[in-house]
Amino acid sequence: MISRQAAIIGGLAAIAALTIWVLFAGLPRWYGRSSARSGTVAPATTAPPGRKIKASLFYVSDDGLRLTPIERDVAFGEGTVEQARQIVEAQIAPVAEPLVSAVPAGTKLRTIFVTPNGDAFVDFSRELVTGHSGGSTNELLTVYSIVNALCANLPAVHSVELLVDGKQVETLAGHVDLRRPLEKNLTWVQ
Amino acid sequence: MPSCTGNVSLRYNGGSRQLGPPLTLFRFSSSLLAAATFAVLLFAVIPAGGQSAAAPALTILSKDGRRSVPLTISNDQELVLLDDLATVFQLTTRDEPFGALTVGYKGKTILLTPDQPLVSIAGRLVSLPTAPTRNGRRVLVPVEFISRALTLIYDTRLDLRKPSRLLIVGDWRVPRVTLRVEGGDLPRIVVDASPRTENSVSQQNNSLLIKFEADALDASIPALQPQPLVQAARLVEPVTIAIDLGPRFGGFRASTQPLESSTRLTIDLTSVPTDTPLAALPPSTAPPPDISALSAPVNGLRVVALDPGHGGEDDGVRGAGGTKEKDLVLAVARRIKGTIEARLGIRVLLTREDDRAVALATRAAIANNNKADLFISLHANASFRKAARGASILYAAFDREPEQTTRASLGSERLPAFGGGVRDVDLVFWDLAQIRHITRSSELAALLEEQFHDRIPLSAHPVDRAPLDVLESANMPAVMLEMGYLTNEEQEAQMNGPEFQNTFVQAVFDAVVRFRDTPGSAPR
């Protein structure tokens, strides 16, 4: 009888210990691996619970000719560069219908830096070019969804230059000149 | 007014088929043929939509004047009574054994066999679309009997114009003339004469008179919807078409262009400014026509550069149905080039002539190095939303434009010139060259929008500005034209079709002409 009780207590203790290990050691480890795999930065949408800011992000309007600003929660980032990173991550993250993103699926943010006079250089993976459908409208919407997301939400950012694979590119799909930093342009916003 | 003594209305086959083009012939008296006084009486066939159904007839035009012989229509074939032809052409007819018949003219004969769609002429067989039919003395032959058989034994040229139901006997110059009015606010009148026929255009009071070097006209003139500039078109004697002008008529420009087998006369009309009280500018004081200026290249527009987008490995947009932007824009650019070159007689450059990759900087360089006066980059669009549709026109935008404008000019520099000596050369930053031309580029964009309006589907945002790479280095007025959305299935099919392309090409041409005629502000 006693030995049976002891076995039950021992079993419960083992289960409790395993649960505690899973909660405090196993999950963080597994989580850490998965976030490390996903890129240089934890995506804003899957960031652990913490401070959020409200930011205007830009998605394709219903008529397909312009961008529509949508206010969304974006993870807080300490300092301009970190916040810029969170905003771009949120802007390029896949979205569900009825929203349509103007950034080609699979595009990753590589790095971002901001010069003291407010020019942001945002470096993307090559999917930004290889995944692009072309057409001047789509190209303008892609470019200005990123430029406007940074300039509209961060007073310290005046202009944005998009880079691809660490290099300056002439255009994404043959139309919009990316060799100069671009300023916020609300022509492309409804 | 024409002295109209005969006015016959006809219908094609009792209306079960589409109406044939109206035929109108006039009394004509050529100075060359004055000795033979003949009169061809005005002969007008149904105004479109006319319901009067008189008996069909074949009009025969000869030195003896005009006659008409009745036509019988059977199984879509137009038949004529052999006896009527015998009277007109002084033919003899003689019955032969087994119901056969010989038709003779000056010792030559045609042998007709009943129920055989063949006739024999000096041992040679000639086919007819149907066999002659015989009902007692009445023999009906298809009208082709004239053009295929009778012409072989007759001593004068016979010219059968079947669609017009006209038979011309002898060497009269009777061009087939068609007239149509295109465009909306500023209409264009297009008159084709086949075979090639010289013409002259003059203004007389409230009419434009188009006179042809011919003996008569085989003319097709539609009933026009009265407009502020054009009220009506009508035939007047002897070989002249009159265009009745409307109260807003301001002036015209006529140009003649030889086509393969015809002559095309194009008359562009301009209106008096809408804010001018009409009473102050009656049509009779409209400026005289300036025909001499038309054929010569007009100052200000000598070279146009057309830039078909993408090419080579860069397909541009891929349409839902597989259309590649690079192919579509090249095809349309070639058509625009052909139209501008043929009608304005100026040079049109293509930045690529075939399916090849050309760098954006090279495209602008081709235009700059050839001193083009106008640069049009031609594209087809894509949207993330399938419903997006319509053409748009873009011109360059520069961030911090005033500051860039100051920066754009490097002043002038004295450089050694080819062949010795020096010359002053204005230097501008390559990628800011367009800044000096932005005003003219915006004017060109507005003219294109105006021409596209109501003619092709237009985007909800028809004119936009954007930092477009290929335009920034263009050292002349420059725009990018997006024809429509290839991601929209309906638009893709439309843009591949001749109807859209014809209208688009014409609209671009019209905008270029208007741009040429609008005095521009000098480059900054």
- Close Cβ partners of B208 (under 8 Å, ≥ 6 residues apart): B201, B202, B242, B243, B245, B252, B267
User: Which residue in A145, A104, A144, A141 sits closest to A125, CA to CA?
Assistant: A104
Q: B387 in helix, strand or coil?
A: coil
For chain A, the DSSP string reads -HHHHHHHHHHHHHHHHHHHHIIIIIHHHHHHHHHHHT-SS--GGGPPS--EEEEEEEEE-TTSSSEEEEEEEEE--SHHHHHHHHHHHHHHS---TT---SS-TT--EEEEEE-TTSEEEEEE-THHHHT----HHHHHHHHHHHHHHHHHH-TT--EEEEEETTEE-S-SSSSB--SS-EE--GGGB-
Query: Which residue of B309, B387, B486 is in closest CB contact with A174?
Result: B309
Asked whether B126 and B147 are in contact (CB, 8 A), the reply is no
Tokens of B187: 């209409």
How many A-B residue pairs are in contact by the CB < 8 A criterion? Answer: 109
* Best A137, A141, A157, A186 residue to mutate vs chain B (most B CBs within 10 Å): A137
Closest residue, chain A, to B398 (C-alpha)? A182
B388–A174 CB contact, under 8 Å? no
Residue B288, pLDDT score: 39
* Best B383, B404, B429, B465 residue to mutate vs chain A (most A CBs within 10 Å): B383
Residues in chain B with CB shorter than 8 Å from the CB of A190 are none
Q: What is the pLDDT of residues A113-130, one digit of tens each?
A: 999 999 999 999 999 999
Model confidence at A45, pLDDT cuts 50, 70, 90, reads very low
Q: How far is CA A58 from the centre of its chain?
A: 13
Closest residue, chain A, to B392 (C-alpha)? A137
Query: Which residue of A64, A159, A176 is in closest CB contact with B383?
Result: A64
User: Which residue in B84, B92, B82, B71 sits closest to B12, CA to CA?
Assistant: B71
Residue B124 touches partner A, C-beta closer than 8 Å: no
Closest residue, chain B, to A101 (C-alpha)? B384
Residues 245-264 of B with CB under 8 A from A: none
Residue A30, pLDDT score: 52
Residue B99, pLDDT score: 78
Residues in chain B with CB shorter than 8 Å from the CB of A64 are 383-388, 485
- Mean per-residue pLDDT, A133-155: 97
d(CA B176, CA B184): 26
User: Which residue in B299, B311, B443, B431 sits closest to B377, CA to CA?
Assistant: B311
> Could you say which residues of chain B have pLDDT below 70?
1-54, 237, 273-299, 402, 407-426, 520-524
> Which contiguous run of DSSP H or E holds residue B395?
strand B391-396
Of the CA atoms within 13 Å of residue A114, those in its CB half-sphere come to 19
Residue B394 touches partner A, C-beta closer than 8 Å: yes
Residue A22, pLDDT score: 55
B384–A138 CB contact, under 8 Å? yes
Residue B388, pLDDT score: 96
**DSSP 3-state helix, strand, coil percentages of chain B (rounded to 5)?**
25, 35, 40
Residue B483, pLDDT score: 98
Residue B35, pLDDT score: 36
d(CA B255, CA B344): 9
Model confidence at A15, pLDDT cuts 50, 70, 90, reads low
Among A21-35, A87-101, A146-160, which stretch is predicted with the lowest mean pLDDT?
Answer: A21-35
Residue B431 touches partner A, C-beta closer than 8 Å: yes
Query: Is the full-model pTM beyond 0.90?
Result: no
The amino acid at B410? L
Q: What is the pLDDT of residues B25-41, one digit of tens each?
A: 433 334 334 333 333 33
| CA distances to A73, A86, A146, B381 from A89, in Å | 12, 5, 10, 28
A135–B464 CB contact, under 8 Å? no
Residue B278, pLDDT score: 41
Query: Which residue of A102, A140, A170 is in closest CB contact with B360?
Result: A170
Residues in chain A with CB shorter than 8 Å from the CB of B397 are 185
Residue B472 touches partner A, C-beta closer than 8 Å: yes
Residue B383, pLDDT score: 97
Residue A12, pLDDT score: 62
ipTM computed for the complex = 0.76
B382–A141 CB contact, under 8 Å? no
Query: Which residue of B385, B397, B399 is in closest CB contact with A63?
Result: B385
Q: What is the pLDDT of residues B53-85, one digit of tens each?
A: 467 888 888 887 788 888 988 888 899 999 899
